[in-house]
Structure 1
Amino acid sequence: MSEKNIIIGTAGHIDHGKTTLIKALTGADTDRLKQEKERGISIELGFTSFELANDKQAGIIDVPGHEKFIKNMLAGAAGVDLAILVVAADEGMMPQSKEHLAILDLLDVKHGVVALTKIDKVDEEWKKLVIEDTREKLAGSFLEDAAIISVSALDMDGIDALKAEINKIVDTISSKETENNIYFPIDRVFTLKGFGTIVTGTLFRGVIEVEDELELYPQSKKLRVRSLQVHNNKVQKVYPGQRVGINLSGIDKDELQRGDVLAEVDSLFKTKYFEANLKMLKDLNFVLKNGDQIRFHIGAKEIIGRVYLYDKKELFPGKEAYVQFSLEEEIAAYLDEKFVIRRYSPMNLIGGGKIVIVDPPPRKRDENQVIELLKKIENGDWKKRIEIFINSQKFESASMEYLLKKSSLQKDELINILEELKKDEKIICLKKGNNSLWIHRD
């Protein structure tokens, strides 16, 4: 089964009119903090909904443009399906425009449109020059061939054209598969009188229903879903790609923080270690060295750690490598999840990629062998991946519980793969039952 739910995210430099544009599109003001009203910039993430042409609603995330709040932008960008890159006609592409564009590329966002704002402030000749410059700077990005729509949010000029382009793009976006384990990164926590603890976020995977029992990671605490809300409406069930508010039972606000994850019970490892494929951005003026301290961003989480390069002492701009991340605290993530890293200080964007192994074993430094293993997992289908996970145990069996957490697959899907591997005479079942045990024939 699949569901088509769309998250639209803004991106762009400070004061280029992202929040004002969203108000023109939706009628809603996403600046919710007193500081934001006073300073006229977005500090936190803002959320609202957008009425699509098919009577469905898309969620809209308004991200802050100031470089000081880039970690808040990263927390919102992780679940975006369609990006609106906002470029002010009186300034053109600026440093934060480029950084936001790079982040969206690293997070593998595929769809977007460029809104050229504040056209009421420039003449036609200047506007043409800015469009030409913007088009040049989009070359090689996912927005290379995107439409550039000229708008003035103050007098509503071009807003209908922008809405039409958004609807056109939405029609081309594939529906999201619902047959997955639940994975819900929390990006906001608060309390409401009479309700208790509320968390919000974008549902990445799976389906959540009222009264479901979920596990909070990395705390390993089981919680009950008291109620659910989407676009200010109470619902019984929520689907991937929806902006969701969850009223949780059995936990206080102070026990939660941005970046924690709600997921299927016993479906994830909590760990400080991940192996991944990392790609550095091209336009950098520094190299990444083995053991460098970094800021690791995944889902809505930012955490300090170090990066260790396999088979390299340093990584140059535009290059990629297999790496191991060693983080200062335990977090939860799943195989293939996208991440972004920044330097510890100064906090420049470095690059990003996707998780290949969650909670890898200690490695003897035969790095060529490790690289070959990571390549097979990254490029293999699920059958091949499960076979590798079982074979990697070597001197002990692989339990069903271990394989579920290693793969983040649903139990029924994993059982089918194990039966196929057994039929192919690749693996042997040592013990049947709910937590069956498996070894590889090699």
Structure 2
Amino acid sequence: MIYTLATAGHIDHGKSTLVKALTGINPDRLPEEQQREMTIDLGFAWFDLDDETEVGIVDVPGHERFIRNMISGVGGIDYVLFIVAADDGWMPQSQEHLEILDFLGHKHGAVVITKVDLVREEWIELVEEDIRGKIEGSFLEGAPIFKFSSRGSRGLEEILDHLKGVLPGLPERYNPQKPRLYIDRVFSLTGIGTVVTGTMRDGSFKIGDEVRIISSGRTARIKSIQTFKQQREVSFQGVRTALSLTGVSKEEITRGDCLAVPDQWQGTRNVALRVSLSDLNHIPLSHNRKVTVLIGTTEIESSARVFKEDDFSKSDSGVCIFEFENRIMARLGDSLILRYPTPDILVGGGVVTDVDLSRFIRRDKGMRKFYFERRLDSVRELIVSELRKYKTREAGRLLEASNLHDDDINGAAKDLIESGEVEKYGNYLITAEYKISLFDKIIDYLKKFHADHPSRRGVSKSEITSKLKLEQAVIDFAVKQLQIEGRINISNNLLSMSEHETSLKPQQQKIRQDILDQLAVPDLMTPTRKEIEKNMHQIREVLNYLIQSGEVIELSDGILYRSEDFDEIKHTVTDLIRKNGSVEVKDIKNAFGLTRKYTIPILEYLDRQGFTRREGDKRVLNE
């Protein structure tokens, strides 16, 4: 089993010295760090705790100027060793590190008092008492406190024994199989190519996998994998990992980028955060204030969008919206750190409660409540809240932006369907609550349509889909259910209320008569649809009504006849065929004195109706 630890604490409190004592490796890899005896960037070391347990340690910088490097190092770890020097005691960066660890949701750790050889035992007892007061209410409350000195390795065995006992008892890492790696180093090696390093989160990569750089969208392929200087076929969740990549140069990747699987969720350009302010600095978060947002190794500036309902000068919690120029990999439930860029100071932390947001409206109390109260600890509640947000959702995209395994999502969705809280049609899910609302919206739309257009038989499904801004499959589901319940009719793909009968408004009755008068011509050379619509205002709806009701027959090319006139034409054609056995176009022209403009559409219409049948250039009765 492989575990990852991180040190945390004030500058020059002996973090790197403890790591070297545990591992035999100096984690300060930069020459400047070794000259100044101060960790500037992340340091890494590892050791075998026993025959079955490997431990990696991330040594983070303590200086306030390098606090962002510290934040990037403590994500995705299993256990924290919080360091306080006996001679200095609790210091400002001690408090800031502790708050950051709390904001990031860490649960397990121990305190190590270092440099105990420099002070008397009575002073150590006072420092320990002070520490217990400082960590009260934090994730370290009640944690064991060890005393360590590099001289003679005092306390080292006790720390190792503690790790041997506590690490195997930690909760098993949840693996959603949605791997991501926030990059903290990029370099190139001769014969190997581009290499990136970081701590593996939420799954694993294997050699040959294609990966995508979230900020740019570029893809690469994994050539080799290394952890603790050993070649691996597969990376391990929560473990420091080096990947060599093909298909991308080191200039195309930067620290702060994130790698993920191309066919999984590809990040977001905005997030809603449930924010808690720092107790250390007590700085209110104001609307439109520039903030640096940190997640993993990603640092990105954004303006805080604060809801009108939130006043951070009076409350230490609320909701903020952040929008980004480039995509970042932030998922539901992720913890982010907020800092002001100038001066560089901790503002607070936040938990992602939503991504891919709609337009921000400061006075939207409902949306603010949704973001603030959204439960992240229940898969069922998350599914329901997502369906309420999107109205409907494809099953394959359900909670795609979460840190949940597909099996857990599908299992919870199945339970919701079986309980009747959610219904599935095709590949789409909707809540039972929204189904009722959707049915009401369709009914209300049809009723209003009939009131506004009584002469029309109904509305097409595509029109309702467009007006209600929903997926066609969802409308199909709703329409089918309403039809089964007998509330609507469907004819020729037109939807109408069951009780609807077409009719004309009083002002349309005159238009109806005018149309029929224009078609009542003795020579049967009637005006076409185009000609009538050109000469009369607002006629189309009435003309369609006459055609749908059967009072007017429309042939090809817009040729129109009153139904009684076309019955006479049909009767005459029948007599001619019975007399001569068949008719041709010229026979119809001679019989009625019509041009080909009318005779061909007449014969084609009779063919389509199955009244006649074409045989070469002749028509016969289809008997």
1:327 is the counterpart of 2:324: yes
> Match for residue 392 of structure 1?
389
1:168 is the counterpart of 2:165: yes
What is the CA-CA distance between 1:7 and the residue it aligns to? 1.3
* Percentage of identical aligned residues: 33
Rounded Cα–Cα distance in structure 2 between residues aligned with 1:141 and 1:409: 26
Q: Which amino acid aligns with 1:350?
A: V
**Structure 1 residues 98, 412: CA separation in 2 closer, same or farther (over 3 Å shift)?**
closer
> Match for residue 95 of structure 1?
92
What is the CA-CA distance between 1:271 and the residue it aligns to? 3.0
Q: Which amino acid aligns with 2:86?
A: A
Q: Which amino acid aligns with 1:429?
A: Y
Q: Which amino acid aligns with 1:195?
A: I
> Match for residue 197 of structure 2?
200
> Match for residue 429 of structure 1?
425
Rounded Cα–Cα distance in structure 2 between residues aligned with 1:380 and 1:178: 16
Rounded Cα–Cα distance in structure 1 between residues aligned with 2:405 and 2:256: 23
Q: Is the 1:215–1:263 contact (alpha carbons within 8 Å) kept by the matching residues of 2?
A: yes
Stretch moving more, 85-94 or 53-62: 53-62
Rounded Cα–Cα distance in structure 1 between residues aligned with 2:303 and 2:473: 34
Q: Is the 2:307–2:363 contact (alpha carbons within 8 Å) kept by the matching residues of 1?
A: no
1:361 is the counterpart of 2:363: no
**Structure 1 residues 288, 376: CA separation in 2 closer, same or farther (over 3 Å shift)?**
closer
Q: Is the 1:5–1:176 contact (alpha carbons within 8 Å) kept by the matching residues of 2?
A: no
Q: Is the 2:294–2:338 contact (alpha carbons within 8 Å) kept by the matching residues of 1?
A: yes
1:140 is the counterpart of 2:137: yes
What is the CA-CA distance between 1:352 and the residue it aligns to? 0.8
1:40 is the counterpart of 2:59: no
**Structure 1 residues 139, 404: CA separation in 2 closer, same or farther (over 3 Å shift)?**
closer
Q: Which amino acid aligns with 2:296?
A: G
Rounded Cα–Cα distance in structure 2 between residues aligned with 1:236 and 1:244: 12
List aligned pairs for 1:182-221, cutoff 5 A: 182-221=179-218
Q: Which amino acid aligns with 1:253?
A: K
List aligned pairs for 1:121-140, cutoff 5 A: 121-140=118-137
Query: TM-score, normalised to structure 1's length?
Result: 0.90
What is the CA-CA distance between 1:253 and the residue it aligns to? 0.9
> Match for residue 17 of structure 1?
14
The secondary structure found in structure 1 opposite 2:153 is coil
1:66 is the counterpart of 2:37: no
1:151 is the counterpart of 2:148: yes
Rounded Cα–Cα distance in structure 2 between residues aligned with 1:380 and 1:152: 42
Stretch moving more, 248-257 or 175-184: 175-184
What is the CA-CA distance between 1:92 and the residue it aligns to? 0.5
Q: Which amino acid aligns with 2:425?
A: C
1:81 is the counterpart of 2:64: no
Q: Which amino acid aligns with 2:327?
A: E
Rounded Cα–Cα distance in structure 2 between residues aligned with 1:406 and 1:239: 22
> Match for residue 109 of structure 1?
106
> Match for residue 406 of structure 1?
401
After superposition, what is the alpha-carbon deviation per residue over 1:17-53, rounded to whole angstroms, capped at 9, x for unaligned? 1111110111000111111111111111011113224
Q: Which amino acid aligns with 1:192?
A: L
What is the CA-CA distance between 1:219 and the residue it aligns to? 1.5
Q: Is the 1:89–1:117 contact (alpha carbons within 8 Å) kept by the matching residues of 2?
A: yes
**Structure 1 residues 379, 16: CA separation in 2 closer, same or farther (over 3 Å shift)?**
closer
Rounded Cα–Cα distance in structure 1 between residues aligned with 2:472 and 2:175: 28
Rounded Cα–Cα distance in structure 1 between residues aligned with 2:18 and 2:401: 42
Stretch moving more, 94-103 or 322-331: 322-331
After superposition, what is the alpha-carbon deviation per residue over 1:336-388, rounded to whole angstroms, capped at 9, x for unaligned? 11111112221111111211111211134452211332256434633443343
The secondary structure found in structure 1 opposite 2:106 is coil
Rounded Cα–Cα distance in structure 1 between residues aligned with 2:146 and 2:377: 41
Q: Which amino acid aligns with 1:171?
A: P
> Match for residue 340 of structure 2?
343
Deviation >6 Å, runs of 4+: none
Q: Which has the higher contact order (CA 8 A, sep 6+)?
A: 1
Q: Is the 1:399–1:438 contact (alpha carbons within 8 Å) kept by the matching residues of 2?
A: no
The secondary structure found in structure 2 opposite 1:155 is helix
Q: Is the 1:89–1:122 contact (alpha carbons within 8 Å) kept by the matching residues of 2?
A: yes
> Match for residue 237 of structure 2?
240
1:26 is the counterpart of 2:18: no
Q: Is the 1:6–1:170 contact (alpha carbons within 8 Å) kept by the matching residues of 2?
A: yes
Count of aligned residue pairs for this structure pair: 434
Q: Which amino acid aligns with 1:338?
A: S
Q: Which amino acid aligns with 1:245?
A: A
Rounded Cα–Cα distance in structure 1 between residues aligned with 2:413 and 2:124: 60
Q: Which amino acid aligns with 1:406?
A: A
What is the CA-CA distance between 1:177 and the residue it aligns to? 2.8
What is the CA-CA distance between 1:10 and the residue it aligns to? 0.5
What is the CA-CA distance between 1:67 and the residue it aligns to? 0.6
> Match for residue 226 of structure 1?
223
Q: Which amino acid aligns with 2:401?
A: K
Q: Which amino acid aligns with 1:141?
A: S
1:315 is the counterpart of 2:312: yes
Query: TM-score, normalised to structure 2's length?
Result: 0.65
What is the CA-CA distance between 1:108 and the residue it aligns to? 1.1
Q: Is the 1:270–1:331 contact (alpha carbons within 8 Å) kept by the matching residues of 2?
A: yes
Rounded Cα–Cα distance in structure 2 between residues aligned with 1:106 and 1:10: 16
Rounded Cα–Cα distance in structure 1 between residues aligned with 2:113 and 2:239: 27
Q: Is the 2:196–2:243 contact (alpha carbons within 8 Å) kept by the matching residues of 1?
A: yes
Q: Which amino acid aligns with 1:184?
A: L
What is the CA-CA distance between 1:421 and the residue it aligns to? 5.2
What is the CA-CA distance between 1:238 and the residue it aligns to? 2.1
Rounded Cα–Cα distance in structure 2 between residues aligned with 1:129 and 1:61: 29
Residue in structure 2 matching 1:280, options 274, 277, 281: 277
The secondary structure found in structure 1 opposite 2:194 is strand
Identify unmatched segments of 5+ residues in structure 2.
Answer: 429-470, 479-623
**Structure 1 residues 177, 122: CA separation in 2 closer, same or farther (over 3 Å shift)?**
same
The secondary structure found in structure 2 opposite 1:160 is helix
Q: Which amino acid aligns with 2:199?
A: T
Rounded Cα–Cα distance in structure 1 between residues aligned with 2:8 and 2:407: 39
**RMSD over aligned Cα, in angstroms?**
2.5
Stretch moving more, 368-377 or 191-200: 368-377
Larger CA Rg, structure 1 vs 2: 2
What is the CA-CA distance between 1:409 and the residue it aligns to? 4.9
The secondary structure found in structure 1 opposite 2:138 is coil
**Structure 1 residues 414, 130: CA separation in 2 closer, same or farther (over 3 Å shift)?**
closer
What is the CA-CA distance between 1:312 and the residue it aligns to? 3.2
Stretch moving more, 114-123 or 397-406: 397-406
Rounded Cα–Cα distance in structure 2 between residues aligned with 1:124 and 1:71: 35
Identify unmatched segments of 5+ residues in structure 1.
Answer: none
> Match for residue 174 of structure 2?
177
The secondary structure found in structure 2 opposite 1:72 is helix
**Structure 1 residues 153, 249: CA separation in 2 closer, same or farther (over 3 Å shift)?**
same
**Structure 1 residues 24, 406: CA separation in 2 closer, same or farther (over 3 Å shift)?**
closer
Q: Which amino acid aligns with 1:123?
A: R
Q: Is the 2:308–2:363 contact (alpha carbons within 8 Å) kept by the matching residues of 1?
A: no
Rounded Cα–Cα distance in structure 2 between residues aligned with 1:182 and 1:253: 21
